[in-house]
Amino acid sequence: MQRATVVVGQAEGLHARPAAEFVKLASRFRAAVRLARGGREADGKSIMAVMALGASRGAEVELRAEGEDEAEAFSALRAFLEGGGA
């Protein structure tokens, strides 16, 4: 399992459009993707769950990826969260 705390660098945080882009990126991988913030946890492939975290710019979220292509998924999703885009 790949796991790290990541600071959200997306200008709009994980609101509608960035959350949709995150979910689209996460869905490219077979690995299970989870995000956690403030005691709440979300399936990284569910836009509603990701948006419900309410992660704005500068928020710390825990990113986890587990499964066959977890290293690639973790690297791509971490870069996205840090503001690197999809």
The pLDDT tens digits for 3-51 are 999 999 988 889 999 999 999 999 999 999 999 999 999 999 999 999 9
Phi, psi (degrees; rounded to nearest 5) at 51: -65, -35
Sign (positive/negative) of CA torsion 38, 68, 70, 53?
negative
Q: What pLDDT score was predicted for residue 11? A: 87
Among all residues, which ones are annotated catalytic? Answer: 15
Q: What pLDDT score was predicted for residue 10? A: 86
- Ranges of H-type helices in 1-86: 16-26, 47-52, 70-79
Q: Token pair for residue 23?
A: 């979910």
> For the whole model, what pTM was predicted?
0.92
84: confidence class by pLDDT, cuts 50, 70, 90:
low
